């Protein structure tokens, strides 16, 4: 995705339109490469995990993972304390 240089091509295209190098009837023909790059970028972005999530959904997922990690830490600490208690009792 980083290899697709979209902005320089778009800027050059717009500059050519502004300078009158591209006429209105030729606009579609010259915009084809930019459309192709946009389509390629869109396909690559759809492959990114969580790209369509809202901020709220992402925050909820983070809270869920954080709660899960806290419970694991608590469980492991309790387990460690029980093992140490049983070893001391021996």
pLDDT digits (tens, 9 = 90+) for 23-44: 888 888 888 888 998 998 888 8
pLDDT digits (tens, 9 = 90+) for 49-60: 888 889 999 999
Query: Domain tally for the chain?
Result: 2
Residue 84 structure tokens: 């140490």
The boundaries of the domain holding residue 47 are 1-52
Q: What are phi and psi of 3, to 5 degrees?
A: -80, -15
Pair (46, 70) in one structural domain:
no
- CB count, 10 Å around CB of 15? 11
Looking at residue 52, its pLDDT comes to 82
User: Stretch 80-87: mean pLDDT, rounded?
Assistant: 93
User: Stretch 86-90: mean pLDDT, rounded?
Assistant: 87
Pair (44, 6) in one structural domain:
yes
Instruction: Provide the 3-class DSSP secondary structure of residue 52.
Output: coil
Q: Judge whether residue 11 has pLDDT over 60.
A: yes
Residue 17 structure tokens: 């339109």
Report how far apart the first and last C-alpha atoms of the chain are (Å, whole number).
62
Pair (18, 31) in one structural domain:
yes
User: Stretch 61-80: mean pLDDT, rounded?
Assistant: 97
């Amino acid at each position: 995705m980083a290899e697709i240089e979209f902005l320089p091509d778009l800027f050059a295209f717009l500059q050519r339109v502004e300078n009158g190098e591209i006429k209105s009837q030729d606009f579609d023909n010259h915009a084809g490469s930019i459309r192709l790059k946009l389509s390629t970028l869109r396909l690559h972005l759809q492959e990114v995990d969580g790209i369509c999530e809202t901020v709220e959904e992402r925050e909820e997922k983070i809270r869920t993972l954080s709660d899960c990690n806290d419970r694991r830490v608590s469980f492991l600490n309790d387990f460690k304390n029980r093992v140490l208690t049983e070893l001391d009792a021996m």
